[in-house]
Every structure is written in C-alpha cells, then in structure tokens.
Amino acid sequence: MNTPFALSYAFNPLSVAINCLSDQLQLDLDTVSIGNHSSLPAALMKLISYDISRNTPFMDPSGSSMGDVAAEWLMATTVDELACTSTLNLWLTIEWTNTKNPTLGKYSSKLTTSFLQMLRTTVENKQKVTDGTIFAASNHLATYCIFYEMSIDQRNIMMNGLEALVNARGGVDRIADSSPGLLQSLLWTDVMNAWLTGTRPRFLLRSPPPMPYSLIPERTNTSVIPAVYENCCGPDLLDTAKYLRMFLLFRHGSETRALTKAEYQYMVSLERFIHVQLLSQQAHHNDTGSTSECIVLAMGLVRMRILCIWEQHFRVRRAHIHRLVEAMRKLTFEAWRDIDALPALVWLCWVLLAQSEPPPKDLDFVIVLLKSALKGVLGEDMEDWSPGWPSYFSDELEPLLWHADYDAFIPIVADLLH
C-alpha cells in the first residue's frame, strides 16, 4: 500500500477531498505550515499511515506502515466529508499542540464547529450512517481524549453519541465482521475514554480473536498461569491474566523471531481484547478491597508501561497508581498469606515499586509488605540479592512483566530491601 504508485494514486482523491472542504469552509490552507511534508495531502497520508490507534509494541512484518485501520481510514477520508473533516482537524490539532500557531487553533475550532453541524444534520435527517460516519465520530472523540481536558460527564455524552451511531450501523458485532480496521479504531477510542473516566468500555468483545495455527503450539506453555493466582483471582480475571501472560511472552518471543502477517494482526487484535477485558474487570472490582481488585489494577499498570504517551497519559497513570495503593492498604499481609498467595503479593509490590525510581516515601509500606512476602516465600535467609535470584522469580514474576522492567529493577529492589 505504501509503494510510490499507491501513494500517488491515493493523493489524487485525497487532494480533491481536502480542496473541496477548504473551499467550503473558506480555509486558506496554503498558508498553513506543513513542516517537512511536500503538501497537505502528504501530511495527512503520514498521519493516516501512522494510525494512532495501532498502538502496539510489535513490528508490522510486511514492512508497510499502512495497516488495516489506515487503509479503511484513507478510503473513508477520500469519499466521506465527515471523515475528511475529522481527519484534517486531528492533524491541525496535533500541529497546533506542537507549534501553538494561533491560525491552526482558529482553523481547528472552525473545523470542529463544522463537523458537529454536519454530524447533527446527519442524525436529525436520519441519513444513513456509514463506516465513514463512524470513523469520523471515533476520530473526533479520540482527538478530545488525547488533547483536551473535559469532565467525565462531557466525555460520557460524546461516548453516548458514538455508541448510538455504532448501533445505527448494526452494532459492534456487525462492524467486527465487515470492517476490522474500523473495529480497531473504535476499540482504541473506547479504551482511551474508559481509562480517562474510570468506566467500563462500551464495545465489549464476546471472545478473543482466533489464534493463527502457527502460534497454537507455543500457547501450551504461555497460557498457563501459576497456580497461586487461582487463590487470589476470580475465574473471569484469571482468564484475562492468562491472555496477558500469553501476550507478554509472545512479545518476548517476537524479539527472537519475526512475526508473520497473520501473527501480527492477531497480536494487535489480542491487545485490544486484553484492554477491553482489563477495563471491564477494573470496573467490576472497583473499590471492593479485594485481592482481585489489586491484581487487575497491577495488570493495568503493566499494560500502560508501553502505551504511547498522549496528553492525558500521566494523569491516568497517576490515578491508577493511587487506586492500587489504596486497594493494597485495605489488605494486610495475613490476608495474602492465609490464602497462600504470597508470590502474587511479591509481583504486586514489584509492579507498584517499579512505577517510579526511586519509589516515593508513601510506598514504604509496600517495601515492608515485599520483605515479609519474600521471607514467607524464600525463608529467612535472603542475603544474596544478585541477579542470580532463585528460579522462582523468573517463573512467578517475569511472565507478567516486561523484560526491561524485570532486569532493570533487580538491583533497585536489592537496595530497597537491605
């Protein structure tokens, strides 16, 4: 899709769509700085090809940056005025955030007003909702999730509108069958909104994506969760933990062998599935003061370690850490020991302490918990804190962490525990 011929072919209808829109709204886009790009269509092509929703730690094995979402997004942008408006506004918002150029801010406000008027007309006149309409609304909400501060009520109102459009299109299951790229865009917008509002995702997936045959032999070992987690997780959360462990170990394996196209697409879909499941479980266990609440919040922090950095990311992460700290304060060391879940407590403490270096003073109680849990697991003799820790650590900790976190944090933990 990214060959010179394909790009030149795409430029023509994209250029026409942009020119029609700029003439209609009286935007003098010729005066807009486009940075290192040769033209505005080229800038939008790069934005679409990058596809902010394809936020995954895996490399696309095709060598092309044009994934499923980008291909469907490009098609919608060239033929649908709403999709073109929201895409141009996303690009202008990104550029305005980077440059603080007042002209870009003015054009972005004008595009937002026009977009909302067109969308309102579509709804009031009961016009047919197309994939382009859904892409446009999803992009619009994603733009606000990434770049703007809004109240939870405002975000929920916008999410209600997007959900209504999806239902008018036949529901998320119909979209999943006909437009896989649009589904991934929807899920990413839904996940961002759920992170920011602390609510359950709207577009729930009934089942994980089908696994390619080439990965089935590897699943035998990767989807097995240590038995200790069965003592502190409900069955629903345990299933999510299995998929997260499988995802992390497949990620580690992709560093030693290249993924096929089918495997790559599966990993992207699996990542979305895990996000939706985690957020649903967090909403379900919220403020229960249970071991399940602690486990699911820690799993969320593990996933957030590799999310792209967007405007609200750090605020969400800080709030997430605060929720986990408060949940852990409600449970004593004995609560974990009595259900034979001390290895899970070690993992929890590790995840929480690894969020900042050095850990803040208000996490001293976590260090105390970690010392007690390690003594309970390894015995009283804990003099050797070298990287050659007992094999228990790699069995119980590493499968639910990123390699970089595991390797880098060993000497830090040693200093904390001495």
3-state secondary structure the chain: CCCHHHHHHHHHHHHHHHHHHHHHHCCCHHHCCCCCCCCHHHHHHHHHHHCCCCCCCCCCCCCCCCCHHHHHHHHHHHHCHHHHHHHHHHHHHHHHHHHCCHHHHHHHHHHHHHHHHHHHHHHHCCCCCCHHHHHHHHHHHHHHHHHCCCCHHHHHHHHHHHHHHHHHCCCHHHHHHHCHHHHHHHHHHHHHHHHHHCCCCCCCCCCCCCCCHHHHHHHHHHCCCCHHHHHCCCHHHHHHHHHHHHHHHHHHHHCCCCCCHHHHHHHHHHHHHHHHHHHHHHHHHCCCCCHHHHHHHHHHHHHHCCCCCCCCHHHHHHHHHHHHHHHHHCCCHHHHHHCCCHHHHHHHHHHHHCCCCCCCHHHHHHHHHHHHHHHHHHCCCCCCCCCCCCHHHHHHCHHHCCHHHHHHHHHHHHHHHC
**What's the pLDDT at 385?**
47
Determine the pLDDT at residue 407. Answer: 64
Confidence of residue 162 (pLDDT cuts 50, 70, 90): very high
CB 32 within 8 A of CB 89: no
Q: What does the pLDDT look like over 63-105, one tens digit per residue? A: 555 567 777 887 888 888 888 888 888 888 888 887 787 887 8
Residue percentage of the chain with pLDDT more than 70? 69
Whole-number Cα distances in Å, 150 to 52, 125, 193, 308, 336: 20, 29, 11, 20, 39
Q: Which pLDDT tens digit goes with each residue over 318-370?
A: 888 888 999 999 999 999 999 998 888 988 888 888 776 555 667 788 888 88
Are residues 246 and 306 located together in one domain of the fold? yes
Residue 206 domain-assigned (yes or no): no
Q: Looking at the structure, tell me whether residues 108 and 256 fall in a common domain.
A: no
Q: Which of 170, 197, 224 is the last residue of a domain?
A: 197
pLDDT confidence band for 4 (50 / 70 / 90)? very low
Domain extent at residue 75: 4-197
Tell me, yes or no, whether 152 lies in a domain: yes
Task: Examine the domain organization and report whether 134 and 259 are in the same domain.
Answer: no
In a domain, 104, yes or no: yes
276 and 179 together in one domain: no
Residue after which a domain boundary falls, among 197, 221, 251: 197
Taking the C-alpha atoms of residue 53 and residue 56, their distance in angstroms, rounded to an integer, is 9
Contact criterion met (CB below 8 Å) for 126 and 107? no
- Extract the tokens encoding 121: 């007309």
Domain assignment present for 172: yes
pLDDT at 5: 36
Residue 235 placed within a domain: yes
Q: Are 255 and 150 found together in one domain?
A: no
Residue 203 lies in a domain: no
Residue 233: Cβ-neighbour burial (10 angstroms; 0-12, 13-18, 19+): buried
Q: If pLDDT is split at 50, 70 and 90, which confidence band does 6 have?
A: very low
Where residue 259 falls among pLDDT bands split at 50, 70, 90?
confident
